[in-house]
Amino acid sequence: MQVPLIQLQCGQWLYGPTGGKSQLTHHQASIAMTGVCDRLPETCTGLILCVGKVGKDSAAAKYAAATETNQFSIENGKPYAELWMGTHPSLPSKDVETQRSLLDLVQDNKALMSTQISDKFGEKLPFLFKVLSIRKALSIQAHPNKKLAEQLHAKDPKNYPDDNHKPEMTIAVTPFDGLCGFRPLKEISHFLSTVPALRNLVGGESAKEFEASISGRETSTSAEDAQRNKKALQSAFSALMTKDKSTIAAAAKELVSSAKQEGEEFAGGGGSSNGGKELADLVVRLNSQFEGDVGLFVLFFLNYVKLEIGEAMFLKADDIHAYLSGDIIECMASSDNVVRAGFTPKFQDIPTLTSMLTYSYAPISEQKMNPVDYPYVTLNRTAYSSSSSAILYDPPIDEFSVVKTELHGEKAKATFEAIEGPSVIICTSGSGTISVGPKTKNVKAGYVFFVGATAECVLESDSETFTTFKAFCELSGKETANGAS
């Protein structure tokens, strides 16, 4: 039987000036260059919106170019946004040596994933592993739950290409910022009273109804109050999102003018989470990317979060978010379903978005994760004495967990116990080796490997710092150390 250690190579999607996708040569992982257009190819005027980091500034591009067998080379002036790893049918990874797709391999041999996981998740990896390199804001979006995904896919397979849900986890590789989940209600109420352009756009009556409905109940733990608050939030948010584009554009000019003039005093000096100057700078920055967009107002409803390297957050299905900048490791259920409503010229589905959201509201601290030491790894003496680590990020879902391993110094070694499920491992810095049974492979930044179920895996460093991220699925004894709500 083949040793279950496979170096992965994937296809590249190119999003060209027309916004159409074309598959290029296969290489280490997929790069999604999000240069998109909201017109059909035959009528496109050349509008390009490229959100990825440019050239070698993109971690996704650098990792993709690492495999020696690739035909891919980085072009200095071109943006590169995403690197995909997995079995998603849109772009399944391949075995570098045999060129067979990973999807074919795991379907032919259930032991690679374990019979239990193959049966539960339809003979494909239950997760999609990514690297994102974000230079400009990604769309304001949410991902549907399983039931809604099935309905959307049946109704509109072009815009909703599969029937799966898509909870996701984000781990910062470089400093990151984004909009994630609804703010505490007191903050939203504060902005409605201190940002005239926002209040006028939502509508005076809608703003008054929101304020009256939540008054005295903003932090209530009563289920009845929480439901009432969510309905009030949905009403106010929907009032904003359903305004016509010309009205939004006019209000945006007023908003941007205020942000430039008021500085620290903008938005009443800011809320408890963000200062006035920080919000003013954010409005100006996002307007330079998406002039007059409704997203300039959505940011007053959503938490503005910054993650430092190693920090993470988990987003349930139906949670609203928009990633703004940074390099991140992202893991999600294996789906490509996105419901968009701002910061994009792509297809937007505002009625679906405003009706599907959970309208949960909380400070961002409740979405940030609390990683813990991974218990099923043994560090050798060199690793232990150099403060090497293996940290577990474990969201409250079955499809995936992620371990970040940092080995410091040559000969530092981490031995991972066999698990009843598959793993995908990417190296993000340094170099070393990976071993499964008698098979050992060299590893450097950008290399990606699949490790089959029930296989002990050993990582060993030959550099100052050897960093890897391992996405895996194991149904039995799943950890619950995530700390996210």
* Catalytic center residues: 340
User: What's the token pair of residue 14?
Assistant: 């190119």
Instruction: Catalogue the E-assigned strands of 64-142.
Output: 79-80, 82-85, 94-95, 127-134, 141-142
Torsion of CA 342, 92, 122, 3, to 10 degrees: -140
* String of DSSP letters for 255-288: HHHHHHHHGGGHHHHB-SSSBHHHHHHHHHHHHH
The answer for residues whose C-beta is within 8 angstroms of residue 158's C-beta and 6 or more apart is: none
Q: What end-to-end distance do the CA atoms of the chain give, in Å?
A: 42
CA separation for the pair 386, 341 (Å, rounded): 47
The answer for residues whose C-beta is within 8 angstroms of residue 313's C-beta and 6 or more apart is: 169, 170, 180, 305, 307, 364, 367, 368, 369, 484
The answer for residues whose C-beta is within 8 angstroms of residue 348's C-beta and 6 or more apart is: 340, 341, 342
Contact 323, 137 (CB under 8 A): yes
The label of the residue with tokens 């938490």 reads 303
CA separation for the pair 46, 49 (Å, rounded): 10
Cβ neighbour number for residue 364 with a 10 Å cutoff: 20
CA separation for the pair 373, 406 (Å, rounded): 12
CA separation for the pair 457, 452 (Å, rounded): 10
Cβ neighbour number for residue 134 with a 10 Å cutoff: 24
> How many residues does this entry show for the chain?
485
Q: Is 302 helix (H, G, I), strand (E, B) or coil?
A: strand
Give the amino acid at 340: R
User: What's the token pair of residue 239?
Assistant: 């009032």
DSSP-derived letter for residue 470 is: E
